[in-house]
């Protein structure tokens, strides 16, 4: 399951704020350059990020496999015509889907190399006031809650498969899994709320200390370069 894993890679040693800056710059560049040449360059950047995070691309894609059907379905639906399939109509959604996949993979490298508490601390120290606390809290909850829901869904699918649920029609299988997953999510949310109250949840806890190091300067340079690349089409 894709979650934080302790390690000694360069990405692990970076400050979360510099990694978030790279994420923002990468996403902006990806949306500004959704062309074959631009996506080829961003693919190279993605490979470099995964290498610095020591994250296997195959594992990242497998953990994010729920995104792949949408990436594949969009160009197929857009290119479909009653007279046949029009490849030219499928090019734009295919590029947009690949762009989304790159952004998600880079985000996966961030999740794998950054503790949840550090992500919350980075956001709260970047965005002041109650807004920063709310955003940091939301990110922390998502990072902790999403893997649990993913594991629950995997167990539901295994139980469904063991009862020969795969022999049923696809719409029935989808509705069964959706209802079971929604019920489990609501149950988890109730238990999560009770656990927060039992632990005297605080909006402003003591957060871990943070300090920029020399490698963070390189990360900010990369983030600035990506940001300038995203702004380049606007000034031409």
Cα 231 from Cα 141, distance rounded (Å): 33
Cα 42 from Cα 172, distance rounded (Å): 40
Q: What is the pLDDT of residues 33-81, one digit of tens each?
A: 888 899 999 999 999 999 999 888 888 888 777 777 777 777 777 777 7
Residue 225, domain extent: 10-204+216-235
Of the candidate ranges 10-14, 93-97, 100-104, 143-147, the one whose mean pLDDT is the lowest: 143-147
**Residue predicted with more confidence, 232 or 8:** 8
Q: What is the CA radius of gyration of the chain?
A: 21
Residue entry with tokens 């090019």: 91
- The first and second tokens of residue 35, run together, are 């062309």
Residue 3 falls inside a structural domain:
no
Residue 209 falls inside a structural domain:
no
Residue 4 falls inside a structural domain:
no
Residue 210 falls inside a structural domain:
no
Mean pLDDT of 204-222: 82
Closest CA to 144 of 172, 174, 169, 115: 115
Closest CA to 108 of 57, 48, 38: 57
Residue 211 falls inside a structural domain:
no
Residue 176 falls inside a structural domain:
yes
The count of structural domains within the chain is 1
**Residue predicted with more confidence, 201 or 28:** 28
Residue 5 falls inside a structural domain:
no
């Amino acid at each position: 399951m894709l979650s934080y894993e302790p390690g000694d890679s360069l990405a692990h040693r970076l400050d979360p704020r510099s990694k978030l800056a790279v994420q923002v710059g990468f996403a902006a560049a990806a949306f500004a350059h959704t062309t074959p040449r631009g996506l080829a360059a961003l693919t190279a950047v993605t490979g470099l990020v995964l290498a610095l995070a020591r994250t296997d691309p195959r594992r990242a894609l497998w953990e994010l496999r729920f995104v792949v059907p949408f990436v594949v379905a969009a160009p197929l639906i857009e290119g479909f015509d009653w007279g046949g399939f029009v490849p030219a109509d499928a090019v734009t959604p295919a590029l947009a889907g690949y762009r989304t996949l790159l952004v998600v993979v880079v985000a996966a490298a961030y999740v794998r190399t950054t503790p949840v508490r550090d992500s919350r601390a980075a956001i709260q120290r970047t965005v002041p006031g109650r807004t920063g606390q709310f955003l940091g809290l939301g990110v922390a909850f998502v990072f902790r809650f999403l893997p649990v829901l993913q594991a629950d869904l995997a167990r539901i699918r295994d139980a469904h498969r063991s009862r020969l649920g795969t022999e049923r029609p696809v719409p029935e299988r989808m509705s069964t899994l959706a209802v079971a997953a929604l019920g489990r999510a609501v149950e988890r949310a109730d238990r999560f709320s009770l656990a927060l109250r039992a632990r005297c949840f605080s909006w402003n806890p003591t957060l871990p200390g943070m300090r920029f190091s020399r490698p963070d300067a390189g990360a900010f340079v990369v983030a600035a370069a990506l940001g300038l690349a995203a702004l380049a089409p606007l000034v031409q």
